[in-house]
Amino acid sequence: MSLLPPTRSPRFTPREALDRSPHLKPITAIAVGIAALLWTIALGSSAQASEGATTPWTPDMFQAAVLGMVQGLTEFIPISSTAHLKIVPQALGWGDPGVAFSAAIQLGSIVAVLSYFWADLRQVLGGSVRAIRARDWESLDFRIALGIAIGTLPIVVVGLVVKVLLGEFYDTVVRTSTVVAIVSIVMGLLLGLAEELCKHSRGFEGLGTKDGILIGLAEALAVIPGVSRSGSTITAGLFLGLDRATAARFSFLLGIPAITLAGLFELKDLVTGVSSAELLALVAGLISAIVFSYIAIAWLIRFLQTQSTWVFVWYRVAFGAVLLVALSQGWIAN
């Protein structure tokens, strides 16, 4: 599957051929209804377990594998892996796995994206080296590599500020279920606006350094739980006029440095002084994340070649609304 076609791939369905109606199709309505129902059942069943307070997570191989599946399926689909990694274990009565474990198993997602785009990454890196030697600053490979490099800086800076200066505030105020719910709804609505109001006509051949900077600024918002790194970057790409599959692909590539740095930063602390049971749980989570991340990447790219993003818009709104109801009823801790 080529990342950098010389001309726009015929597999990309023209915008006019896509259903851009804001009204739900029957299949989308069913999907949202089932999602809301499942969340309600899950959250309701955990009411007794949560007792209004967040409990720490006890490492377990099965639970870690499930969380790896959640990470893999939600990291690249624009519905927020951070939100689901916080809410799902609480809803099941397992407790909060914490930022460190959540960031560490993201390395499994990096393995998947590197595997899926390996040939394309070699092309971009090799082409960039050749472009630098030839001083060909207009080379497509060089523009994409430079866009990824510069676009990574905002989230690195913001992440370091949060980690070093705002750690306690982030854990107690920002990383809450209420924030996740509200942000999920807001970002879902923004994705809907990008889907409805903007033309999605530019492919990879039209990408420039400016796109990398602007999409990178949007990626920095992902430090807020519920934003979704892929969601914010795909939304920004759509606002900039990228076609859906191109926005998703650039989002995946842009996420490689940021997710890798975050995962390694947390991993060094997570593996220090851990028991064998905790280490096995981490390995189980990583393997699960690799498998399901690869599946999610392949599916989403094929999906966006022929479909719009409305199903994710409505899912995010439904997810946030159900979560707010659950919080108001005391079914889950904040």
Does residue 25 lie in a domain region? no
Count Cβ atoms within 10 A of the Cβ of residue 261 and give its class: 0-12 exposed, 13-18 middle, 19 or more buried: middle
Residue pLDDT, tens place only, 176-218: 888 999 999 999 999 999 999 988 889 888 888 889 999 999 9
Mean pLDDT of the chain: 81
If we measure between CA atoms, which residue out of 255, 272, 300, 319 comes closest to residue 106?
Answer: 255
Domain that holds residue 140: 58-328
CA distance 264 to 247: 26
Backbone angles phi, psi at 198, to 5 degrees: -110, 150
Q: What is the pLDDT of residue 172?
A: 76
Q: Is the pLDDT of residue 27 over 60?
A: no
Residue 53 lies in a domain: no
pLDDT digits (tens, 9 = 90+) for 65-115: 999 999 999 989 998 888 888 888 877 888 778 777 877 788 899 999 999
Whole-structure pTM value = 0.81
pLDDT of residue 126: 93
Q: How far apart are CA 143 and CA 254, in angstroms?
A: 13
232 within domain boundaries: yes
Q: What is the DSSP letter of 205?
A: G
Tell me, yes or no, whether 155 lies in a domain: yes
Over 60: is that where the pLDDT of 255 sits? Answer: yes
- Please determine, for residue 17, whether its predicted confidence score (pLDDT) is greater than 60: no
In a domain, 21, yes or no: no
- The more confident residue out of 264 and 184 is 184
Considering the domain boundaries, does residue 39 fall inside one?
A: no
Residue 28 forms part of a structural domain: no
* Token digits of residue 324: 């707010």
| pLDDT at position 184 | 93
- Express each pLDDT in 130-178 by its tens digit: 999 998 988 889 989 999 999 999 999 998 888 788 777 777 778 888 8
Sequence-ordered list of residues with C-beta below 8 angstroms from that of 142, at least 6 positions apart, any chain: 127, 128, 131, 132, 136
Q: What does the angle CA 287 – CA 290 – CA 293 come to, to the nearest 5 degrees?
A: 145
Overall average pLDDT of the 47-63 stretch? 64
In whole angstroms, how far apart are CA 80 and each of 10, 85, 89, 180?
A: 30, 9, 15, 9
**Tokens linked to 44:** 């309701």
Residue 23: predicted pLDDT? 46
Q: What is the mean pLDDT of residues 310-314?
A: 93
**How many independent structural domains does the chain possess?**
1
* Cα–Cα distance, 234 to 228 (Å, whole number): 10
Q: Residue 40 is encoded by which pair of tokens?
A: 């309600």
Among candidates 224, 256, 219, 253, which has minimal Cα distance to 236? 219
Higher pLDDT, 219 or 51: 219
User: Comparing 59 with 237, which gets the higher pLDDT?
Assistant: 237
The predicted structure's pLDDT at residue 19: 44
Look at residue 87 and tell me if it is in a domain. Answer: yes
Q: How many residues does the chain have?
A: 334
pLDDT at 225: 87
Which pLDDT does position 42 carry in this prediction?
56
Segment 317-330 shows an average pLDDT of: 88
